[in-house]
Amino acid sequence: MAVPDTTELEHELTSALGQWAASSVAVGSVLKTLGTMTDSPFLKGFAGQTLGWGAIDGAIAGFGKWRQSQTDVLQAMGDESASPDERISDERKAQAKADKLYKLLAFNAALDVGYVAAGVATMLAAGPLSRRTSRPASEWMGIGAGVAVQGGFLWALDATFARRVAQISAESVHSWHDSRTQAIERLKHLITTAHSQTDSE
């Protein structure tokens, strides 16, 4: 059975999230400066969300990278001369890991849609929110836009990698079925050959 190895995908996902986090912090810093210079409530609101989400995403990416490094060390210390039973166990663990990652990404993608909706709702409710708080409506517009942009990117990221994980799992299943079919055909051939030899005797 082919093992659905998602290790490389996890590294790619963490790297992409880290790059987005760094970009968000950089862009947020620039926009915050511009917002202060121009006294733009919209830019201030947008910059605040961009900086905040960038910091959170960066922390998540950093933790993910640390966990992956620990996993890589443990795998490097593993015994390559594993028994057949141990290899089967590893294959099952790999499949379970792929399934877990897919469910996590799908769940996150659903949350991301909620973030986008919350951002849009904030923009639509900018007027009432302004009347209830000391912040101008344009700042609430910036806050909502910032949330929507961050949620939109995270949705694209999570949905893309969820699809790739599902594709890897599907390919491993197809590979297993192909191997099983080939094994059955070889067994049939051996049985036919054995019968032929018996009949000739």
**Residue 101 falls within a domain, yes or no?**
yes
Q: What percent of the chain has pLDDT over 90?
A: 60
Structural domain that includes position 67: 7-78+87-200
Number of domains observed in the structure of the chain: 1
pLDDT at 57: 97
Residue scoring higher pLDDT (177 or 161): 161
**Residue 1 falls within a domain, yes or no?**
no
pTM value is: 0.76
**Residue 126 falls within a domain, yes or no?**
yes
**Residue 19 falls within a domain, yes or no?**
yes
User: Is the confidence at residue 186, as pLDDT, over 80?
Assistant: no
User: pLDDT tens for residues 97-140?
Assistant: 888 999 999 999 999 999 999 999 999 999 999 999 999 999 99
User: pLDDT tens for residues 43-84?
Assistant: 999 999 999 999 999 999 999 999 888 776 555 555 444 444
pLDDT at 12: 93
**Residue 55 falls within a domain, yes or no?**
yes
**Residue 54 falls within a domain, yes or no?**
yes
Which letter, b or e, does each residue of 3-40 get, where b requires 16 or more Cβ atoms within 10 Å of its Cβ?
bbebeebbeebbeebbebbeebbebbeebbeebeeeeb
